[in-house]
Structure 1
């Protein structure tokens, strides 16, 4: 009798414990759902803030359909999406200004000519007096400048300080003509040539050396004014190409709205990835360093890659690795993410033709966020769709405005271009 009472009591306790355990688990799940933060509207356009919150509600932990074993994810372009301006082009100018190369003159010439066709550039790339410029003549001038700089700068093989070097006509010629060369290559030939060319100059650097330079460049440009500077080569050194000029947009700004969106996505159980047409190791510094606040793990950045040799970068693009721009970004997402997860991103963000395909290529994508730079082309087509869907609760594409004078988002779909006084919606 006592044994039977004991067993009945034990059974009752077991049932009660199970009920309490399940109730506790349900309460914990409910608490997690209730505690998932909402999006800070900040300077998002009001319509965009609502649309993005809807994505969090419908796909994050608050959703009754949320599956922790099948976590949704978002993919962001980096340059001019997560930040104002381009961190790799800023790094190109920083590398030039500080002569941070680990290349002999012969190696520099080899890299400079890597995959670049000989002959004239497109008609827009002329001398200041309107004469055509060829790669052959421009390269000859840059080579002569680099040989002089290498022989004289104490950071390479000489004894002159950086300040003395920067005051020389050879340096001013080198800076103006090398930057002119980059823009001319990108605009004259397929972008794949120019975007790979810029990273070949990291040859002989270790990952730590490149990332230290990238961090210094980021910090320099975050502290710099947003300003466009025209660099003209000295008339005292016309060389073979003649006098040329080009403009660089200095300064970088963190887009706090994007940074906060990334944190809101993660807090709502949605993973965050970056897809960039810059080399991944450079963007990993900005996306992952705690000083900048984006919190993206290194392994979540997909970008361009180089072959390594003895722990150093070579000037050879990684064999078998796609070119991560335009249609290539879709390839990267499919090969790296969809292949592992079995589904596409719920949110994609971008700003240019390099992002246009990934913004629209995945059936699983609920919304494509376009940082509005009023561009034509492929991204212009996506932007037009966004304009047509303005105010639609389930808009597939949304446009987010920005002021290029301050680098701040605007609570508007329209943007203000640098040097302009009126906001515009489309190109």
Structure 2
């Protein structure tokens, strides 16, 4: 494959990985018609993305994105938990009893926060804390939680937190999500060129939808295209249970009609973390058609859908948000292992092809 925009982009693309560190500026033309602008991306990344979009525009293709730390900076659930604790909305007493998985670690001078409790679950096993963070909203209505998410997103400051790290009590802070301007731009350019955008998140589907599908935040993802950790929702009047995913399948989904439904603690499947992200693509998007772009930031959680789910034959892109050196080093090892596994099993080697890598600072 060869890029026509810049020889620099072509050389980096053919090398397999794109790492860019320049001011964002790029204009392209889609099939000689309306201008396609990726002004907020570094030039080499913009060129790579634009070439892919031009090649795949208006052919029923689609792209998939992780949300936390990929589409916006920071983590929604990990900031919403301490935020709701700080205003007295989320407490031990309000938490569904089924979510008290281990004892709280209290001392004479410290009452453990739910945020600290969540982190200790993560230390034990991510398969404990990932679902817990989606279930802890049980008992709240979608309308109530949407208001809290909007208030969190409007904060201009970080949130103080205390948590246990082994036997040491740590004082720290967490930041609310901050929209990656370049990602919101990319979402809209993809959709304007007939490439559907789906969010595949390991966070609560409804929480992510509150941001990804609200025009205020600029992503403009159709609400039915937001796929995350799904819990059953209860009608407080008649006690009936449903999920957005069931409603979407039955063609009866209207997000506004769900606002007074109550979050429940019971999980729907597939669970959208690790291999479950790839399972969600197969379940809800397409059994066979691969995305032309898969974006992520976390080894393991995002790489199943990236290694298995990018159609490199169409110039598809593995988009990586490089937020930690340690994660990037781990990614390189995983890429090498995946490519070796493909080769050893007689599969086309695609895992090490067409990576575009940017840092969070480059896309804010």
Q: With the length of structure 2 as denominator, give the TM-score of the two structures.
A: 0.71
Matching of residue 409 in structure 1 with residue 353 in structure 2: no
Shift of 1:258: 0.5
SS of corresponding position for 1:349 = strand
User: Aligned pair in 2 of structure 1 residues 361, 376: CA closer, same or farther (>3 Å)?
Assistant: farther
Equivalent-residue separation in structure 1 for 2:177 and 2:335 (angstroms): 29
Matching of residue 203 in structure 1 with residue 133 in structure 2: no
Q: Is the 8 A contact 2:104 2:117 kept in 1?
A: no
Aligned partner of 2:257 in structure 1 is: none
Spell out, residue by residue over 1:318-373, the C-alpha distance to the aligned partner (whole angstroms, 9 max, x if none).
2xx1110111100101111113xx41111111100211111110252511100012
Aligned partner of 1:40 in structure 2 is: 38
Aligned partner of 1:72 in structure 2 is: 61
SS of corresponding position for 2:295 = strand
Equivalent-residue separation in structure 1 for 2:283 and 2:328 (angstroms): 23
Q: Which has the higher helix share?
A: 1
Aligned partner of 1:136 in structure 2 is: 103
Matching of residue 271 in structure 1 with residue 196 in structure 2: yes
Shift of 1:383: 8.1
Aligned partner of 1:347 in structure 2 is: 293
Shift of 1:264: 0.8
Shift of 1:78: 0.3
Q: Is the 8 A contact 1:351 1:370 kept in 2?
A: yes
Aligned partner of 2:225 in structure 1 is: 300
After superposition, residues 13-24 of structure 1 pair within 5 angstroms as: none
Q: Is the 8 A contact 1:87 1:252 kept in 2?
A: yes
After superposition, residues 319-334 of structure 1 pair within 5 angstroms as: 321-334=269-282
Which of 194, 201, 218 is the matching residue for 2:129? 194
Q: Is the 8 A contact 1:356 1:382 kept in 2?
A: no
Aligned partner of 2:95 in structure 1 is: 108
Matching of residue 356 in structure 1 with residue 277 in structure 2: no
Equivalent-residue separation in structure 2 for 1:400 and 1:315 (angstroms): 37
Shift of 1:34: 2.7
Aligned partner of 2:207 in structure 1 is: 282
Spell out, residue by residue over 1:395-418, the C-alpha distance to the aligned partner (whole angstroms, 9 max, x if none).
511111233xxxx538xxxxxxxx
Q: Is the 8 A contact 2:82 2:114 kept in 1?
A: no
Equivalent-residue separation in structure 2 for 1:363 and 1:200 (angstroms): 31
Any stretches of 5+ residues in structure 2 without a counterpart?
1-28, 236-260, 337-351
Shift of 1:378: 8.8
Shift of 1:55: 0.5
Equivalent-residue separation in structure 2 for 1:183 and 1:288 (angstroms): 28
Equivalent-residue separation in structure 1 for 2:172 and 2:117 (angstroms): 12
Q: Is the 8 A contact 2:82 2:159 kept in 1?
A: no
Which of 334, 355, 361 is the matching residue for 1:397? 355
SS of corresponding position for 2:35 = coil
Equivalent-residue separation in structure 2 for 1:295 and 1:110 (angstroms): 36
After superposition, residues 115-126 of structure 1 pair within 5 angstroms as: 116=101
SS of corresponding position for 2:151 = helix
Q: Is the 8 A contact 1:51 1:395 kept in 2?
A: no
Shift of 1:228: 8.1
Equivalent-residue separation in structure 2 for 1:250 and 1:287 (angstroms): 18
Equivalent-residue separation in structure 2 for 1:352 and 1:231 (angstroms): 24
Equivalent-residue separation in structure 1 for 2:209 and 2:163 (angstroms): 33
SS of corresponding position for 2:47 = helix
Larger radius of gyration: 1
Count matched residues: 291
Tell me: higher relative CO, structure 1 or 2? Use CA pairs within 8 A at least 6 residues apart: 2
Any stretches of 5+ residues in structure 1 without a counterpart?
1-30, 62-66, 117-134, 145-168, 234-240, 387-393, 411-427
SS of corresponding position for 2:272 = coil
Shift of 1:207: 1.7
Equivalent-residue separation in structure 2 for 1:246 and 1:351 (angstroms): 26
User: Aligned pair in 2 of structure 1 residues 90, 228: CA closer, same or farther (>3 Å)?
Assistant: closer
Aligned partner of 2:50 in structure 1 is: 53
Shift of 1:377: 6.1
